[in-house]
Amino acid sequence: MASLSGVKGWVRPAALLVVSGIAASVALTHMDNIPAYLIIAPGYLVQAWLFERHQALGGFGYQATMVGVSALVWTVILLGLTALLTRVFTRKP
């Protein structure tokens, strides 16, 4: 039987990506307030860049791009902050 030790390291980042994706999808439907716009802003910037290059997606692709990019960016930001805080507040004997 294969060992699952390699899988354990991906559980927290994957869970964080799912939570970020849920937050981004909720924010996409509530674009009438500032916190929702801040959550979805990375996806909005990528979609604007794609629009300028005449490669923007429409319909479901638009929503998938906005939610996917925002979830990925916020996951990387939160993982980076977690690693930084862990390094700063971990004492070495």
User: What pLDDT shows up at residue 11?
Assistant: 80
User: What pLDDT shows up at residue 1?
Assistant: 45
- How far CA 5 is from CA of 8, 9, 14, 15, 79, in Å, comes to 5, 7, 15, 17, 20
Per-residue pLDDT of the chain (93 residues; tens, 9 = 90+): 455 566 667 788 888 899 999 999 999 898 889 999 999 999 989 998 988 888 888 888 889 999 999 999 999 999 999 889 988 888 766
User: What pLDDT shows up at residue 70?
Assistant: 95
User: What pLDDT shows up at residue 78?
Assistant: 93
Provide the whole-model pTM: 0.81
